[in-house]
Every structure is written in C-alpha cells, then in structure tokens.
Structure 1
Amino acid sequence: MTALKVKIAHGTPCWVSLLVRDLERAKAFYGPLLGWSFAPGPTELGGYVRASLHGAKVAGIGVAPAHSALPTEWTTYFAVDNADQASARVRECGGTVAVGPLQSGQAGRLAVSADLSGAFFGLWEGQEHLGWEVVAEPGAPVWSELVTKDEPLAAAFYGSVFGRAVVEADPSAVARGEEDATLQVEGHRVAGIKQTTDLRDGPPRWRIYFAVEDVDLTVRQCLGLGGALLVAAQDTPYGRVARLADPEGGRFSVVRLP
C-alpha cells in the first residue's frame, strides 16, 4: 500500500475526525480494531493525534473541550478551495458555522459547520496536510453518507454549498437499499445522502464507513475492546456492513467490500 499525497477536489470528503473525552482509551480501542498507529497532530488543536495505517494518514482523534455537552461523534470533512468562502456559502444557504474558519498551523485552514437539519460536517482547506492518504483499504475510510429525514432539502443544501451535482437515485436503487442521492464531483460519486425514519440512526448526521477484511470478526473485536454493536452485520448492495459504537458511544460503520 502506497500513501497518496495529492490535492483532493473541492466538495469531496477528505478527512474524518473524532473528539473524545479520553484520548488514551480511544487509541486503545481504534488502534487494535482498525490497525492504526498514532502520532501527534497540530498543537493548536489541543490534545490531538493523527491515526495512520501502515504509515498513511487516515483519521484524526482529539480531546473534546472541557464540559462539552456534545455527544462523541465522527465528523466528515470536505475539501474546499477556500475555507472562508465556503463558510460564507454555508451561511448563505441557511446553515451555521460553529467553529472557525481558523488556521491549524501549517497543516491547513478549517471550519466546522452544520446543515439545515443540524448535521455537523467540516470544511478543510489543505495546505501541508491535504487529507487522508489511503482509502478503501482495510482499516481506512471508504464512504461517508448523510442520514437525514429530509433528503431533498439536504441535496439542495450540499449541492449549493459546494457547487457540485447531486444526482437522485432511481426508485429501484432506493428499494435495494442504496442512497437516495449522491454528491458527485466530475461525474464521480463521492458521498451519499440517505433519507431515514429508523430510530436507530439517531439525529441527522454524517455516517462514516471503514473498510475491514472480516465484518463479523471486527464486531467480536469491537465488543471485546469495550465497544457496542448497534446494528447486526448484514449483506447490502455495497458489501457486508455492521454499525458499531466505541466505548464513549461514537458511532461508525464497518464494511467488507464486495
């Protein structure tokens, strides 16, 4: 596996980050579960480490602010050409900017925003750090999808914010369990938007999928490391999938690609 350090196109997911209360506990969970090693990240972000898979950066884990009431949750970051302009566009489209834009050392410029339903997502203007360096390999991110109660509203919002096409799925695809719509960059599917009324999905949010070699084995490892099984492993059009939670309740999915 070769780490790829290339500029990621505007509007494409490029990074995932998790804020936790106990950083060492999170490292002890995700390290053996996904094969990650850790190195210190930018000091401007407080306690923060970058997770790597065989030397290729794949994710970040940081310490949540003291007394934070926000739940532990993975955040998907989208590459943008200009974080300040993208943040302004979020506001113009009715969303909010909760953090930033701010500079993260020489790594890049970031903002954390929320869409019209309250689902959080990040904006990343990469400079020295462009984003993840490997995808779709066991232990690496493979897909991000928004779970929402209003797919048409979400599709209009993200299409307008990023200036990218959002393509609606045909009814037969939705019936097979595929996304209701996909965000596309230069004709390539880069993220999904899925309408749901399933209470197990929780509030609107961006769900991150990590690739694994064996979903059922990963479920057992997750439970042994103090995590939880939220939705049992099942076969889908995209491969075998299970939904899990880490010891602090941070939700994520794992998938064995077909």
Structure 2
Amino acid sequence: MTTAAIRRRPGTPCWVSLMVHGLGTTQDFYGALFGWSFVQVPGAQQFGPYVRGILDGNEVAGIGQLPPDRRLPLAWTTYLATNDADATAEAIRGCGGTVGVGPLDAGEEGRIAMASDPAGALFGIWQAQAHTGTAVAGPHGTPVWNELVTGEAVWVSTFYQSVFGYELETAGRDENDGDDGGDDVVTLRLDGRPVATLHGLGDGLGRIRGSYWMTYFEVDDTDVAVRRVVELGGHVIDPPRETAAGRVATVADPEGAVFSVVRSATR
C-alpha cells in the first residue's frame, strides 16, 4: 500500500470526483463495488450535496449531486494539483485551454477551478488547504492511474507540458492497452516519475463523447469486479483484457459514468 504525499508536486493527479443525479443510489453502487463508506462535506454544500468515499479511514474520491435541471453527460473528473490555482488558471488560458468555473474557494478545503484542454477534455485543478486529496493508492477501491483519451496525444501534450512543466515521454505502446505498436501515447512525468498517460485514438475517438480523462480504480480481481458492476446495475464497455499494466476492463455505473478497473501487474 502506497500512502500519498500530503503536498503534491504541481501537476500530479490528486483527486477524482463525480457529479451525479442520484447521490444516494450512486453511493450504494460504489459502496458495494469498492467497499467505500461516505461522509458529507459541509464546506462543499455551497455547490450542492457532496460526499467523500472513505476506505479504511482514508479519503479516496468524491461524489456530488447535480441540480435537477442539469442534464449533462456524467464522467469521473481528474484533478491536478497546483500551488496557485489563479496562476494555473491564467496559464491554462494562455496556452489555449478554457477555464469554465473558478478559481474559487471551497470553504476551508482548498481552492478549485474547472478547465478544459484545447481538445475539450475536462479536468480540475486543486490548490490544497484542509483537503489534500486522495489519501491512499494501491488497495482495492482506490484510484491508481489517470489517462487522457484524446484525438492526438502528442499535439495536446504540449499544452499540459506548458501549464504544468511535465517531462514528456513518447512511446509506441500504451501501458494500459494490449495492442502492439502504432499507438499515439505520451507519458507525463514529474521528477522522472510517471504520473499519467495521454492516449491518442485519432479517428477512433468518438465524436459524441470527445476527449476525456479516464480514472482507473484498483481491484483485487478484475473479472469479479466486472461481474459485480453488472449485478449492481452498471454495464461493461470493454471486457477484461491482459495488458502490460495488469488485467483491465472498462465499465459504466448505473448513471452511465465510465471508469476502468485494473488488477495491477505489480500486485
């Protein structure tokens, strides 16, 4: 089990969050699948009801409730750490991205902004104060990897490099993909350590959904987790497959939010 640092290097994925219509039923789904319990976050209620998933006393992810009149596509959102949300927001705008919300204070928890890269993929930035982000990575039910699925990874990687100072590593094979060669894949590194991948699909990227960040959650057994997803009312997008990173499957929860589960090869 790897415990996350309290203060993360800017650009490090530090939190994942999901906005849904049925907060209670979504808690039931992820609680049964990952073993999470939940606590309400009073300081976040200015944005609507919001809870954090807890695993063995550690905060791992957030789930909030959308207003009844908001009918938006649901997706897990990756948050990238920053020491200065306002300066990062300005850098995002200056490098061709868009800041849709904020920066604004989330009570005493931290300072937040929601942005999108030049290809349209939504992500958050988080300047930690009382809430420092995901507290543990490694056990069943914890987020262990983040991947941007986009049209051209090499092209959009320059945006993320300019904003966050990543070192870029271009490769012909995605660690989370079982296919050999020919892939447009860039690994984002900080201080030499890989923190995320960008996977370009070219014409294979769906026009309706467009570019998006994918969250990978660790599981003890990928096949068992996929069957459990279906039992709980979700469905399978891509069935379990062996990859260099481990056994991976892509699924959706009952409201349609897509995520991946992985039994890491290093476990």
**TM tier, smaller:** over 0.9
Which of 186, 189, 195 is matched with 2:191 structurally? 186
Gaps of 5+ in 1: none
CA offsets, 1:193-251, max 9 Å, x none? 00114357942100000000001111111001000101111001100000000000000
Alignment of 1:81-120 (within 5 A): 81-120=83-122
The answer for the alignment partner of 1:71 in structure 2 is 73
CA offsets, 1:153-179, max 9 Å, x none? 211010011122122125698863787
C-alpha separation in 2, matches of 1:179 and 1:76: 21
Gaps of 5+ in 2: none
Alignment of 1:212-251 (within 5 A): 212-251=219-258
The answer for the alignment partner of 2:39 in structure 1 is 39
CA offsets, 1:32-90, max 9 Å, x none? 10111100013223100000111110000001133223201000000001000000110
Give the direction of change, closer, same or farther, for the CA distance of 1:172–1:225 in structure 2 (3 Å limit): closer
Contact 2:19 2:74 in 1 (8 A): yes
Alignment of 1:124-203 (within 5 A): 124-170=126-172, 176=180, 180-196=185-201, 197-198=203-204, 202-203=209-210
Amino acid at match of 2:218: A
Q: Calculate the aligned-residue CA RMSD, in Å.
A: 2.0
C-alpha separation in 1, matches of 2:17 and 2:227: 24
What SS does the aligned partner of 2:112 have?
Answer: strand
Alignment of 1:8-19 (within 5 A): 8-19=8-19
What SS does the aligned partner of 2:92 have?
Answer: helix
Structure 1 stretch displaced more, 192-201 or 27-36: 192-201
TM-score by length of 2: 0.91
Aligned length: 258
Amino acid at match of 2:92: V
